Structure 1
């Protein structure tokens, strides 16, 4: 069964963040950041661990360093070199690499 939240921390405060509130996870310099509509948190989980935990969810890997919640996508447009650009509900733009584009198409049913 899908877990409904994950532990995150910000400024030494730890809390459980609902998966519904998470836009994406990004790995930068051996740290995993968790992005919501208004905040950025950190988690001790690695992307590959998150990928396993989120297997049967709305989250997909979109590049080597990013896992995206497809429910937060406003729209998707084809980009250069068989990639896609997803604009999220918060107007951020995420590039879906060529390698992960088929997974996105499958998840979105296109």
Structure 2
């Protein structure tokens, strides 16, 4: 896993580099103290993660992150900053983590472990190819964490998913699971014509809908079979939802 550090204060950069080198296998291939040089670098190089301060010269970290968000291949962004007021913006950009200075060793190590665990899972999926392939050539099962175990779950058994900060909660009829990624990233694993993102924070399996209930501003609430749960359909999704459901 390759990464870069973007931090204009040398002591902070050295401290972060020490933790990364000591507690992970992440290779820091370059360091920067301003946003312009970073932008040039990532346009020519593929990296896995950026450890990014917000208060940096020329192009600040938040503007840099918004620019990177438009890239086709996007590295994970870990904000490391003294400014807590940008946390909401970071969440909307689906940053991997947001760590406030002065940070603790425990907090940094935990973040590094999560980064490497995700990398291992992705590599295992590519190498082992253990998932069952559907007619369209897509995966019809996903592996979900529960109590420190990976459980293989059929996509058809998923009722709905809900965003929870930087994680995604996946609900089946009998259980729920935690996915250590944003709901947008998780949606990419759900290759099924029954899966529909109704809202920025919700995904639903349309085969599990029991009732479509009109709601305010011409939106809907979806009542699901077997579960005491309702899923909203946002205004931006109404047109596509009606087309999908033939209403």
TM-score (norm 2): 0.42
Q: Name the one with the larger helix percent.
A: 2
- Equivalent position to 1:33, from 166, 169, 174: 169
Residue by residue, what CA displacement relative to the aligned partner does 1:70-95 show, whole Å, maximum 9, x if unpaired? 11000102111111011000242111
Q: Name the one with the larger strand percent.
A: 1
Secondary structure of 2:188's aligned partner: helix
- Which runs of no fewer than 5 residues in structure 1 stay unpaired? none
Q: Which residue of 1 aligns with 2:246?
A: 109
Question: RMSD of the TM alignment (CA)?
Answer: 1.6
Secondary structure of 1:38's aligned partner: coil
Q: Which residue of 1 aligns with 2:233?
A: 96
Q: Which residue of 2 aligns with 1:52?
A: 188
Aligned mates of 2:244, 2:185 — CA distance in 1: 20
Q: Does the 8 Å contact 2:166/2:181 carry over to 1?
A: no
- Classify 1:52/1:14 alpha carbon distance in 2 versus 1 (closer, same or farther; 3 Å): closer
- Which runs of no fewer than 5 residues in structure 2 stay unpaired? 1-136
Q: Which residue of 1 aligns with 2:178?
A: 42
Q: Which residue of 2 aligns with 1:67?
A: 203
Secondary structure of 1:104's aligned partner: helix
- 2:141 counterpart of 1:5: yes
Structure showing greater radius of gyration is 2
Residue by residue, what CA displacement relative to the aligned partner does 1:20-75 show, whole Å, maximum 9, x if unpaired? 11011111111111100121101234322233343552111111111111110001
Q: Which residue of 2 aligns with 1:23?
A: 159
Structure possessing the higher relative contact order (Cα contacts under 8 Å, 6 or more residues apart): 1
- Classify 1:4/1:56 alpha carbon distance in 2 versus 1 (closer, same or farther; 3 Å): closer
